[in-house]
Structure 1
Amino acid sequence: MTVETGEDFGPWLSRQLKLARMTQTQLAETVDVTRAAVSAWITGRATPRPETIERIAQALNTDLATVHTRTTDTLAGLPVGWYHRPGHADGGRELGNAAAFAFDADVGVLARETCQNSLDERLTENGRPVRVRYTLHELTGGHLDAFRQAILWDELHPHYTAVSESAAQQKVGRVVDAGVRDMFEKGRLVLLRVDDYNASGLTGDDYDDGKFAAVVRRQLESLKSGRTAGGSYGLGKATLWATSALGLVLINSTLSVPHEGRTEHRVIGRLELPWRSVKGRQYAGPAWLGRPDPDSQGAEVARSWWADEETVDRLYLTRDGDEPGTSFLIVGAHDVASLEQSPVDLDADDEDVRDDGTRDIRAMHRRLVEALGRDFWAAMTGGGSRLPLLEASVETRRNGEVLIEEEKVDPTVHQPSRSRALRAFYDGTTVDRLTESGQVALRTVPLRLPLSGGRRGTLGTHPAVLLVTDAEDADGISNQVHSLRGNRMTIKKSGVAGLPLGVNAFQAVLLAGQAAGEAVPFSEEAEEFLRAAEPPEHDRWGQTEELTLRWSHTAHHRIARLTTDVNAAVKELVARPKRSGSQEGTKLRKALTVPRKTGSRRNSGPALPELDGLDATIGAGGEWQITAEVKLPRAGELPAMTPVVLLDVRSGSRPKLDWAELVAVDGCEVDDGVLRFMPRARRAVFRGSTDVAGHPVRTALTRLVLELRVGKGE
């Protein structure tokens, strides 16, 4: 039997001897060969005969297949266990991982950071998207007991007890103490597993530079695959541990590049606890679950190990197939925002909704789906020759049984208008101006890139792509611009100030850097510039330390100018064309009147808001549809005002019409028909429709007067 599918025999045998704490001489004596023969096997100058391999398997106390395939370590060596980093010799203490404090315990934040990392590690050679799957799993009863046994809870318990005893002095300690109490008092534990497929996996050595060490061993190190990468601070991975109330994450990675001759079932666990003292010995903070490294002092330091199928199954780390990628299991997952949700919002009448915590895993499921659809709709959208970069789904289980079926996130459901706009760009079906519903208008907006190193001048102009289309109800807040770059994660969300009156609700998308197209001029340079302009949250573009150091302290002005130009382009696209020759437009303008004050302005009395602009149309149902702009004086607190619409008649009192709808657009709020203005706002806009049932005559035959009255307008 000479099957050799795993690691080379020499390196594999050398490691097994270390694990078994056996010397080459001892092995030679046991299998009845010379010391030189064993040395030749280890250096690769020779291989043992089949009958000798059988004796080697007996000496290592393992089966013959393990020696032949060499895809896992023998079980004769040092057992898997927890290694806790000893306290610092100088007495220093870390009372938690500072990187984790950059994020909230929020599954929405977790989804944003982990999905961004998976996009960054997508394997691009095959052109397929990275597939990211989130699985919530609640354990109770025997399932919980078996899992605690699998993670060697008895070894961890003294450390958690020590942290709980000092919880009053430590924020991290209080979170951990609450997590442990929740598990025992409620008899439940929530696991949240994040799997990605068609990704690079945690490649590289346990300690040397590489993706494995960057994630598992180090803090604030970011090793990204290209210029379009979303992350740059090395903080995103901390959200995994921040989401765990127990500070515990288990990892199983399938590698795209073999390590030690293997790719599957590379397993390790990392625990983040504050400094603690256990049985008179001080510990610095982090701990690792793994196989003791025989090369470390006293063989104490734990390193990753190649686990078998049974082990990964007991740890809830089983992956679907052998596609490269990584599975992160967050133990004791919690989400503050979900816990604060009202039971009414969470299907409280459902038979499966119980008071033992099921509500919060349902809410966590919903919030994960919403966050993925909100932040990654563009990465999940394809068209033309552009394929989606991402597929994402969420599933919820309890004790192995499906509670909520796997839900694939559909960008056309969560962001219908924006995904339509992006697809039109990919398909080449955009137009120059919006003339019909459903169209997508395109403009290019210049981003003038500065020279690096503080030098004056412009490197070049990058034409960012602006897409504008009609808004739909499912989009959320309308009249916004979503900005993104190469990895197609939404970076910046901003409204457009100073819109013309009466514009239809719209949504806009700005594609910058390589999102605008790899062949677009200066796309790589724009990608690098904008990435440097993002803070750790990657939620805006502006002044950052990196931008100042690499370019100049005024470099962010280029981004501000881009924003100004984008807003101007949006206004030009959504503004209604002037109808100077339209008889209908002339009639409507004549039919709507704003009362004007005559005589000199009073020098006493408080300044009041004044109507400053109106736009009106007649709706399909015969109602007046009015959009009004209000000029607000500079005053500390403005009085509430009521808009009153009256019929203009030649004699007698003017009949008052009722509002069928009255809504705030900008700078104000509507409360029971009364306008209340925002502090420090200079202008306000509101929109209303009259109640046709109260019209005494046909709308086309009437003229209106719109007034603003103090208070409730009596």
Structure 2
Amino acid sequence: METGEEFGPWLARQLKLAGKTQAELAKELGLTRAAVSAWIAGRSTPRPTVMTEIADALGTDVGTVHTRTTDTQAGLPVTWYHRPGYLDGGRDLGNAAAFAFDADVQVLARETCQNSLDERLTENGRPVRVRYTLHELTGEHLDAFREAILWSDLFPHYSAVSETAANQKVGRVVDAGVRDMYERGRLVLLRVDDYNASGLTGDDYADGKFAAVVRRQLESLKSGPAAGGSYGLGKATLWATSALGLVLINSTLSVPHEGRTERRLIGRLELPWREVDGRAYAGPAWFGRPDPDTQGADVARSWWADDETVKRLHLNRENGEPGTSFLIVGAHDVASLEGKASYEDGRQRDEEGPEDSRGIERMHHRLVEALGRDFWAAMVGGGGRLPLLEASVRAMRNDEVVVAETKVDPSVEQPSRTRALRAHYEGTTVDRLTESGQVASRNVPLKLPLTGGARGATLGTHQAVLLVTEADGDRDTPVNQVHSLRGNRMTVRKATVPNLPLGTNPFQAVVLVGEAAGASAPFAKEAEDFLRAAEPPEHDRWGQTEELTLRWSPSAYRRIQNLTTEVNNAVRELVARPRRGRNEGGEVLSKALTVKSRPKAKVPSGPVVPELDALDATIGDQGEWLITAEVRIGRGDEIVPMVPVAQLDVRSGGRPRLDWAELVAVDGCEVENGVLRFPPGTRRAKFRGATDVSSHPVRTTLTRLVVELRAGKEA
């Protein structure tokens, strides 16, 4: 027989739930209060015959008292607790954190999978396993689930929100979700399970992971600089993806709480301010057992559920491995519903099948696509190194499989980059690409600023690792991109390499920064800390942030721009085709040509000032000006170095000057600290540049660009 919690803590909680004191239990059992106190303190345990009497006193069966794997059914029942309206009359018309993200399953996959990676148990070295289950309910299955979540108690609150839906964004979404459930007779559940993760540990109210997720907003309790999250916003995607604003949670803890680890349940509802039966409610509500320690037991806390309750709530986990299951009730995917994403999985679809089933098939496809795009590197192992992550997606309808569980395979979703990362782990990279299938490796420097130091002060240089390999097939698109990632191996930045030489073969590249470059890399932890501070809440780029400015300096982001420049220069060098020598081209062709030489013209003496001869400019994806300029140079003994200057054209006053984020020599010149230098005898030169968006005083599309060449070493 399985034995659960220690008898003392279990009995103390059951007395609270039943509203009984130790003295009252002792009187019913015909024993002294000291005997009951000794049980609760753990100094002794009752005899088997007394166990039966305790079960009768608590209104449960003797097996529950012996195993103690669940609470008794006596006392306060599981119910919904709605936070009362504020006494000062204030109103919250929705959770602001949820507005940071779209109701998009691909955004959900990125945020939830990142959180699971951050909570991975590292002691055993195994990956965290994340599974997404789409489950559509109709008919009696839907009725049974609504009964399990006490829908009749919730409906008046949804009705109150619907009455004011026209004036509230959250209200309109909730109203549409309720109407969809009734009009179409269906409800989509999306469950996110992780295994080999820490679980929601800690007290219901005190500091801990449980309170951070269930009770609080904008709190992030991530350990270590390699963690992906830092804003405490990612959990809001769970509620943002629910058209009903409802998420149920079942957590298996890595550290016992109240002597228990399995089936810790709680639910949270996010609604705007509302009035029901003349009483105002502030917004959120919790589904749990009333807390007997609070006045009037008005506050709902988590409870330890039995197996049957877990199944009825569709929160059953496959084993007792630590981790958490989040059930999003009324899951919707705006991008999928609006047809913004193309759907093609190569399988014959039944066009006469239910529209709802095809809907969850599209959501299934988009989840697999997002996981493969953003977390491919975390799923790659090699050279004795295990992956950090395993991910899969499945779809069901009324407990029947619609789409079989699909394990996300990085070698299918990102074949070229997977090959590159494995070669790095296995030590099979080369210095330069000479054959098909090779992976070239190059170190690129990231000069880290000194925290709180003077402008320009450097803590040290971290060596990031650049991997470049040829692109594989049509599936490996878009090509010529660099994926940048740090310690948790989630792709943070995706960028196309600009100004590639004509005829460059399609390639893919990866940049490993911080602990992703290896724990032994110089200043790896410092690089993690710096780049984590440079990420916005979406964690999709590195750039200027408030934290970066406060902890380092307003110009600290330029270190990242310099890293980007170094990476792009290294990529262009690695993928460039070798030039032919002057004598190459064949002996036959050489003999067939007759070249008459002319006497050389006299070269004028004195310095020559190059002139800007042609300029081509476009606006890039980030709003930067991208320019390609040609320079004409007269004959002379000495060519004056020139400084390209980018300015905005204005009707009056001085022209605002823009900074260069990147300045690259293409032909006939070299770039050194922003200065163009020309070898003697050069007649024409070409360079490219990209402006720094942060130096633009107004939106780029509303401006005109002026580029000048100024003589001298300094601008």
| Counterpart in the other structure of 1:155 | 153
| Counterpart in the other structure of 2:328 | 330
Alignment of 1:336-485 (within 5 A): 336-341=334-339, 345=343, 350-351=349-350, 354=353, 356-456=355-455, 457-472=457-472, 473-485=474-486
Q: For 2:467, what is the secondary structure of its paired residue?
A: strand
> Once the two structures are superposed, what CA deviation does each residue of 1:25-81 show, in whole Å capped at 9, x if it has no partner?
211111001122222222333332222222111100111121122221110111111
User: 1:137, 1:192 within 8 Å by CA — same for their partners in 2?
Assistant: yes
| Counterpart in the other structure of 1:79 | 77
- Residue 232 of structure 1 deviates from its aligned partner by 0.3
Structure 1's 341 and 159: CA in aligned 2 closer, same or farther, altered over 3 A? same
- Residue 96 of structure 1 deviates from its aligned partner by 0.5
- Taking structure 1 as the reference length, what is the TM-score of the superposition? 0.81
User: 1:117, 1:236 within 8 Å by CA — same for their partners in 2?
Assistant: yes
Query: Counterpart of 2:460 in structure 1: which amino acid?
Result: G
Alignment of 1:111-126 (within 5 A): 111-126=109-124
Q: For 1:475, what is the secondary structure of its paired residue?
A: coil
| Counterpart in the other structure of 2:54 | 56
Q: For 1:395, what is the secondary structure of its paired residue?
A: strand
- Taking structure 2 as the reference length, what is the TM-score of the superposition? 0.81
Give aligned-pair identity as a percent: 74
Matched, 1:40 2:41: no
| Count of matched residue pairs | 606
- Residue 90 of structure 1 deviates from its aligned partner by 0.8
- Residue 14 of structure 1 deviates from its aligned partner by 1.5
Q: For 2:176, what is the secondary structure of its paired residue?
A: helix
User: 2:357, 2:402 within 8 Å by CA — same for their partners in 1?
Assistant: no
Task: Supply the distance in 1 between the matched residues of 2:104 and 2:546 (Cα, whole angstroms).
Answer: 27
Structure 1's 291 and 440: CA in aligned 2 closer, same or farther, altered over 3 A? same
Task: Supply the distance in 2 between the matched residues of 1:679 and 1:269 (Cα, whole angstroms).
Answer: 49
Alignment of 1:154-303 (within 5 A): 154-303=152-301
Structure 1's 295 and 182: CA in aligned 2 closer, same or farther, altered over 3 A? same
- Coordinate RMSD, CA, aligned: 2.7
Alignment of 1:638-649 (within 5 A): none
Structure 1's 446 and 349: CA in aligned 2 closer, same or farther, altered over 3 A? closer
> Once the two structures are superposed, what CA deviation does each residue of 1:513-555 show, in whole Å capped at 9, x if it has no partner?
0000001111111111111110000000111111111111111
> Once the two structures are superposed, what CA deviation does each residue of 1:302-331 show, in whole Å capped at 9, x if it has no partner?
111111111111111111111111110000
| Counterpart in the other structure of 1:17 | 15
Task: Supply the distance in 2 between the matched residues of 1:247 and 1:319 (Cα, whole angstroms).
Answer: 23
Alignment of 1:557-706 (within 5 A): 557-581=558-582, 583-584=584-585
> Once the two structures are superposed, what CA deviation does each residue of 1:326-382 show, in whole Å capped at 9, x if it has no partner?
110000000011111289946897326545422321110100000000000100111
Alignment of 1:124-135 (within 5 A): 124-135=122-133
Structure 1's 321 and 156: CA in aligned 2 closer, same or farther, altered over 3 A? same
> Once the two structures are superposed, what CA deviation does each residue of 1:567-619 show, in whole Å capped at 9, x if it has no partner?
1111111111111145339979x99xxxxxxxxxxxxxxx9999xxxxxxxxx
Structure 1's 355 and 397: CA in aligned 2 closer, same or farther, altered over 3 A? closer
Q: Which moved more, 1:10-19 or 1:176-185?
A: 10-19
User: 2:133, 2:393 within 8 Å by CA — same for their partners in 1?
Assistant: yes
Structure 1's 531 and 34: CA in aligned 2 closer, same or farther, altered over 3 A? same
Q: For 1:379, what is the secondary structure of its paired residue?
A: helix
Task: Supply the distance in 2 between the matched residues of 1:345 and 1:68 (Cα, whole angstroms).
Answer: 54
Unpaired stretches in structure 2, ≥5 consecutive residues: 594-612, 617-627, 632-645, 650-688, 691-700, 706-715
Task: Supply the distance in 1 between the matched residues of 2:257 and 2:583 (Cα, whole angstroms).
Answer: 74
- Residue 679 of structure 1 deviates from its aligned partner by 12
Task: Supply the distance in 1 between the matched residues of 2:459 and 2:352 (Cα, whole angstroms).
Answer: 59
User: 2:614, 2:629 within 8 Å by CA — same for their partners in 1?
Assistant: no
| Counterpart in the other structure of 1:102 | 100
Query: Counterpart of 1:425 in structure 2: which amino acid?
Result: H
Query: Counterpart of 2:514 in structure 1: which amino acid?
Result: G
Matched, 1:498 2:499: yes
Task: Supply the distance in 2 between the matched residues of 1:67 and 1:545 (Cα, whole angstroms).
Answer: 55
User: 2:335, 2:341 within 8 Å by CA — same for their partners in 1?
Assistant: no
Q: Which moved more, 1:305-314 or 1:356-365?
A: 356-365
Task: Supply the distance in 1 between the matched residues of 2:267 and 2:563 (Cα, whole angstroms).
Answer: 45
| Counterpart in the other structure of 2:519 | 518
Query: Counterpart of 1:132 in structure 2: which amino acid?
Result: V
User: 1:482, 1:492 within 8 Å by CA — same for their partners in 2?
Assistant: yes
User: 1:193, 1:328 within 8 Å by CA — same for their partners in 2?
Assistant: yes
Unpaired stretches in structure 1, ≥5 consecutive residues: 592-606, 611-628, 637-665, 668-677, 683-714
Task: Supply the distance in 2 between the matched residues of 1:437 and 1:345 (Cα, whole angstroms).
Answer: 32
- Residue 503 of structure 1 deviates from its aligned partner by 1.0
Q: For 1:239, what is the secondary structure of its paired residue?
A: helix
- Residue 10 of structure 1 deviates from its aligned partner by 2.1
Structure 1's 343 and 86: CA in aligned 2 closer, same or farther, altered over 3 A? closer
Q: For 1:84, what is the secondary structure of its paired residue?
A: strand
- Residue 630 of structure 1 deviates from its aligned partner by 11
Task: Supply the distance in 1 between the matched residues of 2:130 and 2:95 (Cα, whole angstroms).
Answer: 26
Structure 1's 342 and 40: CA in aligned 2 closer, same or farther, altered over 3 A? closer
| Counterpart in the other structure of 1:700 | none
Task: Supply the distance in 2 between the matched residues of 1:349 and 1:109 (Cα, whole angstroms).
Answer: 28
User: 1:179, 1:245 within 8 Å by CA — same for their partners in 2?
Assistant: yes
Q: For 1:370, what is the secondary structure of its paired residue?
A: helix
| Counterpart in the other structure of 2:554 | 553
Task: Supply the distance in 1 between the matched residues of 2:282 and 2:353 (Cα, whole angstroms).
Answer: 40
> Once the two structures are superposed, what CA deviation does each residue of 1:227-286 show, in whole Å capped at 9, x if it has no partner?
210000000000000000000001111111111111111111110000100001111101
